[in-house]
Amino acid sequence: MNLLFALMIVGPLAASAGALLVRERGALRDVITMVGLGTAAAASWVMFGIVARDGTQTVRVGGWDPELGIVLVADRFAALVLPIALAIIFVVEIFAIGQRRTAWGANPELSGPLLGVLTAGVSLAFLTGDLFTLFVAFELILVSSYVLLTHQGQRAQVRSGMSYVVMNLLASTLFLFGLAYVYAATGTVNMALLTERMGDLSDGVRIGIGAWFFVVFGTKAAVFPLFSWLPDSYPTAPTTITAVFAGLLTKVGIYAMIRFHTLMGLDELGGAMLIIAGVTMVIGAIGALAQSNVKRILSFHIISQIGYMLMGLGLFTAAGTAGAILFLVHHMPVKTVLFLVGGLIENEQGTGRLDRSGGMASRRPIIAALFAVPALSLAGLPPFSGFIAKFSVISAGIEARATPIVFLALFAGLLTLMSMTKIWLGVFWGSPPVDVDGDEPPGNRKTMLAATGLAVLGTLTISLFAGALFDLSVEAAEELRSVSAYRDAVLR
């Protein structure tokens, strides 16, 4: 068991250190990175199997007591989300290798090793059992993302990198203050111990801590009104980097929120969460409609979709939490694929601007098909995974009699469909722009298409096994809500 945890957290870190050492030698560097990311992904799938069979697995790092040391916990929630996250990073690294000879490719000497650091951070954030390690994991993710975003040093990247770094650093500082409050109030930062001790606090302190961490995780997850850094910075990064960010970073924030607020039983915040969720959905979708660049439209959709996950959490019912988890599982691959297709579009026609593109459906039918599947899924049309995810969140809302938020969710779904249509009309239909030249587009297109195709296949698989995934989400949600299962597994 120790080995599996190490392969997911230390493995990618070691691989990225090794890849940095031989960064001049392209093939060897790529092999080391791929092996590190691949074994981490494989380990997470094995972990998924073990947790599904035997229940929650824990590791006390260094053998310390949970009161003092770090505990890593793989419960059903973590074991369900982590394999998908690590598989995404692996596929994106394949795409990155195909794309690197183009103007949109990331700098290969740095992007591979940094993806390794990011992977370690994501694994640690999903597996950690205490709040301070969660803070360290966030920093690991953010530091590598700062560098990934700005490492090419172009003006737009440095400009948007500044607001990205400042916003996220502010959230990290608030996180640190929050840790001090939690420690002062309870004398521990271990989440299992906190579930016991938070109950003894007065309501004011308990809800205050919950609200404080809602702001911290909300900034990372880009909920209204803390989202402005996201559509500003994501589109400027190289495609593969944006794809990983879009698929994982905000989702780590919402994951931490689901875990913390559900385990601590902060139902009192539910009303505020639902209001913010509704505004986030609609503002994100309306923002997307106003944009005229493929990547910017997709970036605003991240915000809108975060609203759905927050809605599932804010209901504070078993069905709502299950819906949020299923939405998370559906959203990560779909969003990544859409950004990869955005990268293919940029590669083919040299720009992502809608007014300078067109006619792609007849020239590149494969790309059109690769776009159509995840786009329809994002808009929530059956039979794709988005439909099932939205259905489970919305039916949980109806069950909880939260009518206004249900209507807002349906309305935002309509707006999503409209802006997906906007991309479709702009890029795939109509006539090609006049200045399009007959040159073969740069980059290794076969690798890029294969990676995107693989990812689309992944999202289709999720649609196919949606029933089983829904059951798994329900189990994970029930385990999370019956706090004692988590507490007993960590403290026994």
The binding site for another protein (CB under 8 A) comprises 68, 132, 135-136, 139, 143, 146-147, 150, 153, 155-156, 158-163, 165-166, 169-170, 173, 176-177, 179-181, 183-184, 189, 232, 235, 290-293, 296
**Residue 289 or 369 having the CB closest to another protein:** 289
**Using the 8-state DSSP alphabet, how is residue 393 labeled?**
H
As measured in angstroms, the least distance from the Cβ of 118 to another protein is 15
Least distance between another protein and beta carbon 177 (Å): 5
At 266, the amino acid letter reads L
Closer to another protein by Cβ: residue 39 or 172: 172
Over the Cα atoms of the chain, what is R_g? 21
Rounded distance, CA 128 to CA 140, Å?
Answer: 13
Q: Which is nearer to another protein, 104 or 327 (CB)?
A: 104
Q: How far is the CB of 167 from another protein (least distance, A)?
A: 10
CB nearer to another protein: give 102 or 293: 293
Cis peptide before 225 (omega within 30 of 0): yes
Question: CA-CA distance, 489 to 58, in Å (whole number)?
Answer: 7
Q: How far is CA 270 from CA 3, 51, 211, 265, 404, in A?
A: 39, 30, 11, 10, 14
**Taking the complex as a whole, how short is the minimal distance between the CB of residue 69 and another protein, in angstroms?**
10
Q: Which residue, 353 or 487, is less far from another protein as judged by CB? A: 353
Q: H helices of 151-269, where?
A: 155-186, 191-197, 203-221, 229-233, 239-244, 250-263
Our CB check for another protein shows the closer of 296 and 390 to be 296
The enclosing H or E element of 294 equals helix 294-315
Minimum distance of another protein from residue 172's CB (angstroms): 8
Between 123 and 168, name the residue whose CB sits nearer to another protein.
168
Residue closer to another protein, measured from CB, 161 or 278 = 161
337 close to 91: Cβ distance less than 8 angstroms: no
**Residue 344 dihedral angles phi and psi, to the nearest 5°:** -65, -40
For residue 105, the 8-state DSSP code is S
Q: Cβ(222)–Cβ(185) under 8 Å? A: no
CB of residue 105 to another protein, shortest distance in Å = 20
Write down the least CB distance from residue 164 to another protein, Å: 10
The least distance separating another protein from the CB of residue 166, rounded to whole angstroms, comes to 6
Are 260 and 125 contacting, i.e. CB atoms less than 8 angstroms apart? Answer: no
Tokens of 30: 């790529």
Which residue number, 180 or 398, has a Cβ lying nearer to another protein? 180
CB of 163 to another protein, least distance (A): 6
**C-beta of 290: minimal distance to another protein in Å?**
6
- Amino acid identity at 186: T
Cα 465 from Cα 462, distance rounded (Å): 5
> In b/e form, how buried is each residue of 122-148, taking b as 16+ CB within 10 angstroms?
bbbbbbbbbbbbbbebbbbbbbbbbbb
Contact 487, 71 (CB under 8 A): no
Choice between 171 and 400, CB closer to another protein:
171
Helix (H, G, I), strand (E, B) or coil at 352: coil
- Cβ-based nearer residue to another protein, 291 or 452: 291
* Residue 268 C-beta: closest distance to another protein, Å: 24
Residue 267 burial by Cβ neighbours in a 10 Å radius (0-12, 13-18, 19+)? middle
